[in-house]
Amino acid sequence: MLRNLRELYQYRALLWSLTLRELKARYRGSVLGFLWTFLNPTLLMVAYALVFGVFMKNETKNYVFFLFIGLLPWTFFSSSVGMGASAISDRRDLLTKVRFPPQVLPATVILTNLCNYLLSLPLMFALGIYFGTLPSWHIVAYPLILAIQILFTLALVYFVSAVNVAFRDLQHILSNILTFWFFVTPVLYAASSIPPRFREVIMLVNPMAAVMISYQAVFYDHRLPPAGPLILVAVESVVFLWLAALVFDHRREDFAELV
């Protein structure tokens, strides 16, 4: 795992260039260009605000803000995993022509989505100010939560991108899993609304649940995230990353032949 990450660091120039290219390429040729990076979440926000703020009145206070605290990092997670599945298998053009560590490709997907997520954060803060909540000092915990989420995402993307090279069905299965996953993660609802007998199970088996309630704790409830579940997720993520890196490094020699 350490060798894998060290290589990633050595090739940071390539990683960063590919990420910049992805970011630029996405809206290249469109009239509004880079503005779309902000426009997309804004339009999403308007739609959610309409549905959950006007049509389906929810008793949660400032529900749209609450929703967005979880929805933005979830989008970061789900699009990283969704796009990450084909990160290796779609890059035949690079893998069969040049020698470079293949983990750069899944890492590029995550970094690209991370940039998009970070760029949408001002929007979330603006929404908070609109609802009259300024971020409190508890925000110091935010980088840690984000780091844990990135670690877990990296592990998962390593795993699915390596497996998808040989089993192309995975990317299709994955989009279904992600939809299901979204609904068993407290994004649309607070964790407190899950019946207690399910709550324990979900917090235990779904690492994203602990991450999400941590975000909500920091930004919505203005308190420090619960330490127990977060530490558990951190440990799980490191172990999972170690396993995923093992799988990835075991399979990497075959990538150039199978893509």
Partner 1 sequence: MDAIVIQDVSKHFRKSTVQRHHTTFKTELIRWVRRERRPQPQNFIQSLNGVTLRIPQGSTTGLIGRNGAGKSTLLKLISGIYSPTSGKVEVNGRISALLDLGAGFHPDFSGRENILINGIILGMSRSEIRARMQTIIDFSELRDFIDEPVRTYSSGMYMRLAFSVATHVDPDILLIDEILAVGDEHFSRKSRAKMNEFKSRGKTIVLVTHDLNTVQTWCDFAAWIDGGRIRSVGNPKDIVDQYKQAVELGEAQPASPPPANAPAPTGLGSPEPAFEVKSPPSDANGRMALQLRHVQLLDHRGREAKTLNPNDGLEVIADFETGEDLTDVGFSIRIASSDGVHVYGTSSFAEPIELPKPLPRSGTLRFTIERLGLAQGTYSIEIGAQTRAGITYDSASALSFCIASSSQETGMVMLPHHWLVVHRDRSTSHVQPMTAP
Interface pick for partner 1 out of 33, 122, 126, 167 (rule CB under 8 A): 167
Using rule CB under 8 A, residue 25 touches partner 1: yes
Q: CB nearer to partner 1: give 54 or 98.
A: 98
Using rule CB under 8 A, residue 204 touches partner 1: no
Using rule CB under 8 A, residue 99 touches partner 1: yes
- SS3 of residue 259 by DSSP: coil
Using rule CB under 8 A, residue 18 touches partner 1: yes
CA trace torsion 140, 34, 42, 125 (10° rounding) = 20
For 17, 31, 37, 111, 116, the CA distances from 23, given in Å and listed in that order, are 10, 15, 9, 10, 8
Q: How far is the CB of 18 from partner 1 (least distance, A)?
A: 7
Q: CB nearer to partner 1: give 3 or 28.
A: 28
Restricting to residues 173-192, name those near partner 1 by CB under 8 A.
173
Separation CA 23–CA 113 (nearest Å):
9
Using rule CB under 8 A, residue 31 touches partner 1: no
For 5, 7, 72, 99, 254, the CA distances from 165, given in Å and listed in that order, are 21, 21, 29, 18, 9
Identify residue 140 by its one-letter amino acid code. V
The values of phi and psi at residue 28, to 5°, are -65, 130
Interface pick for partner 1 out of 38, 100, 142, 182 (rule CB under 8 A): 100
Contact 46, 38 (CB under 8 A): no
x/- site string to partner 1, residues 112 to 151, per CB under 8 A? ----------------------------------------
Q: How far is the CB of 249 from partner 1 (least distance, A)?
A: 12
Residues that bind partner 1 (CB under 8 A): 13-14, 17-18, 21, 24-25, 28-29, 93-100, 165-170, 173, 253, 256-258
